[in-house]
Amino acid sequence: MTDSPQKYNKPPLSIAEQIALLKQRGLIVEDTRLLESHLRNISYFHLSIYFKHFQKEDDVFRDGVTFEQVLKVYFFDNELRLLLLGLLERIEISFKSRMINELAIATKNSHCHIDPNIFHGDGEYAEMMALFAEEIKNSKEISIAHYKEKYSEPVFPPIWVTAEALSFGQCIKFCKALDREHRNKIARTFRQDEKFVMNWMHCLSALRNYCAHHVRLWNRSMTILPKMNHRDYEKYFETGNKRLFNYLVILQIFMCDVEPSSQWLDRLESLIKNYNIAVSHMGFPEDWKQRLESIASNK
């Protein structure tokens, strides 16, 4: 039986009071001015997500924990997000491009995305038309403004213009709403079955949102579970692992196709070494780099 909800009554604390609280809880602070600066520019609450790893259940820090230790993990996480965000941008753009090309060419129709015949059902069609209407209405893209000024119909711009108004996640949602034939046309450009591409892209879309919104990746438990029972790639995943590593397996599968010359694994290795990070907190096996590098041999 859970406790009944309580009224929140914690008062806001000044930075001086925040520092005093951290010291009271056992955090070793060698440079108070450094801590003050980071509390002012990063915020106590944002850093508290990292504090938790170094604390006991009663919020008291474990013996010997210094603020510099916490800060090291924070800066590593920040650089990790920036590294992954650049890779995810390449995959997102490639996915949109392949989606546009396959649908437009297969249907020989610049406005294939508003044809109800390519969708799985009437419900999916109606949902997508509502999504397109909302996003195009709110879009500030020059190409969409130009279409509205020059053309009266169709109401929606061609697929290559409409896609500019859609986020990565919305493009994946659109593809999932298509009938299986068209989903597979897109997926086959990656030489994979649609059930894997749609699930894996969903995972990468979530990862992209984590990176873009400054959400902690280090030691995070991921909520979307990737499909791992792929005959070629199953051996690379860590079954039962909800940490970052399995998302990086997916990332590498697509990077080997989108940008096979990328040296991102070397950059990741350097980042881990520079900050002396224990990779087990991210679900990495000991042979993580060799495992990710060998994915290229399946291409």
Tens digit of each residue's pLDDT (9 = 90 or more) over 78-134: 999 999 999 999 999 999 999 999 999 889 999 999 999 999 999 999 999 999 999
Which residues make beta-bridge pairs with 119?
Answer: 178
Q: Would the pLDDT of 299 be above 70?
A: no
Tokens, residue 191 = 């030489």
Tell me the mean pLDDT in the region 7-13: 88
Tens digits of residue pLDDT in 40-57 = 999 999 999 999 999 998
Peptide bond into 285 cis (omega under 30): no
3-class state of residue 117 by DSSP: helix
87 neighbors 248 (Cβ within 8 angstroms): no
pTM of the model: 0.92
pLDDT of residue 246: 97
Sign of CA dihedral 165, 169, 173, 175: positive
pLDDT of residue 73: 96
Contacts of 121 (CB under 8 A, 6+ apart): none
3-class state of residue 118 by DSSP: helix
pLDDT of residue 55: 95
The backbone region for 70, taken as left when phi is positive above 0, alpha when psi lies in -120 to 50, beta otherwise, is alpha
Count of beta carbons in the 10 Å neighbourhood of residue 180: 11
Which residues make beta-bridge pairs with 28?
Answer: 66
> Which among 222, 172, 239 has a CA at the least distance from the CA of 199?
172
> Which among 236, 90, 227, 103 has a CA at the least distance from the CA of 160?
103
The backbone region for 262, taken as left when phi is positive above 0, alpha when psi lies in -120 to 50, beta otherwise, is beta
Count of beta carbons in the 10 Å neighbourhood of residue 123: 10
pLDDT of residue 284: 97
Tell me the mean pLDDT in the region 2-8: 78
Tens digits of residue pLDDT in 128-173 = 999 999 999 998 889 999 998 999 889 899 999 999 999 999 999 9
83 neighbors 77 (Cβ within 8 angstroms): no
Tens digits of residue pLDDT in 239-272 = 888 999 999 999 999 999 999 999 999 999 999 9
Q: What ranges do the domains of the chain cover?
A: 77-298
Tokens, residue 135 = 């996003």
Q: Would the pLDDT of 298 be above 80?
A: no
Q: How far apart are CA 71 and CA 50, in angstroms?
A: 8
Sole residue written with tokens 């392949």: 98
